[in-house]
């Protein structure tokens, strides 16, 4: 019996459609989803001007650069369409660079952890393989291991407001922790049984104040609106 390519293609398409339409419980009340992947924090905000600088230096600002780390999120389904998510990651390390009058100067670096708890709403029904969702929650950002670049130390020693006091030999930098809202959008796509692919995007309200204190007692402060976009791609497993 001869079977045409068209018939083979038709059978294949029907088979795929039947597989996709077969009821498979994706997310329902009581499920726990664990997602592991890669996450990038891309700051989008700006800073105020650095205080304590001499007259004529009126546009000294800073910027925070991107970083990528490993992510781990866990979701508990409170209802078939309502989930509670906790986002965690390995510590991020961000370079802080100068802008404006400080353009081209490396200011330093900081590490941070951004644990975030979100309440999520999942669209569709519990047997859908494709489950988009929206979420709103709280982010707490803990800054630590702040370091000042040697080039900033050299720049500060050239300032007339500092030079008459002597040579600066060390600068301590401290960033204030932040608490703010976080909004997200994402989707889970079931690939097989309890396995999923996940893509998610957050916008986080992160604001901090960076304080630099020299061994001569001079202090410089700058308010920084980090406000990052956070991109995550992960593989998920449902328990």
Q: What is the CA radius of gyration of the chain?
A: 25
Cross-strand pairs, 109? 95, 147
User: Over its length of 239 residues, how does the chain's per-residue pLDDT go in tens digits?
Assistant: 444 545 444 544 444 444 444 456 678 899 999 999 999 999 998 888 888 776 666 788 899 999 999 999 999 999 999 999 999 999 999 999 988 888 888 888 999 999 999 999 999 888 888 999 999 999 999 999 999 887 777 777 776 555 556 667 778 889 999 999 999 999 999 998 899 999 999 999 999 999 988 877 778 888 999 999 999 999 999 99
Residue 35 belongs to domain with CATH number: 2.40.160.20
Number of domains in the chain: 1
Three-state SS for 125-159 is CCCCCEEEEEEEEEEEEEEEEEEECHHHHHHHHCC
Neighbours of 173 (CB within 10 A): 20
**Is the separation of the CB atoms in 221 and 50 below 8 Å?**
yes
pTM: 0.80
- Domain span holding position 77: 5-238
């Amino acid at each position: 019996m001869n079977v045409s390519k068209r018939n083979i293609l038709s059978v294949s398409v029907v088979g795929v459609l039947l597989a996709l339409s077969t009821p498979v419980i994706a997310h329902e009340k009581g499920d726990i989803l664990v997602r592991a992947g890669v996450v990038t924090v891309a700051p989008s905000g700006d800073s105020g001007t650095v205080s304590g600088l001499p007259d004529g230096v009126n546009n000294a600002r800073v910027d925070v650069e991107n970083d990528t780390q490993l992510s781990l999120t866990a979701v508990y389904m409170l209802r078939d369409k309502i989930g509670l998510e906790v986002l965690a990651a390995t510590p991020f390390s961000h370079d802080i660079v100068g802008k404006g009058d400080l353009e081209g100067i490396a200011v330093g670096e900081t590490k941070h952890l951004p644990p975030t708890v979100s309440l999520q709403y999942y669209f569709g029904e519990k047997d859908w393989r494709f489950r988009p969702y929206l979420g709103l929650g709280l982010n707490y950002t803990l800054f630590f291991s702040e370091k000042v670049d040697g080039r900033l130390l050299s720049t500060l020693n050239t300032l007339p407001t500092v030079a008459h006091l002597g040579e600066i030999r060390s600068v301590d930098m401290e960033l204030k922790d932040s608490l703010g809202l976080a909004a997200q959008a994402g989707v889970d796509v079931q690939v097989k049984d309890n396995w999923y692919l996940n893509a998610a995007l957050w916008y986080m309200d992160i604001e901090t104040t960076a304080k630099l204190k020299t061994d001569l007692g001079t202090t410089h402060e700058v308010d920084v609106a980090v406000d990052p976009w956070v991109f995550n791609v992960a593989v998920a497993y449902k328990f």
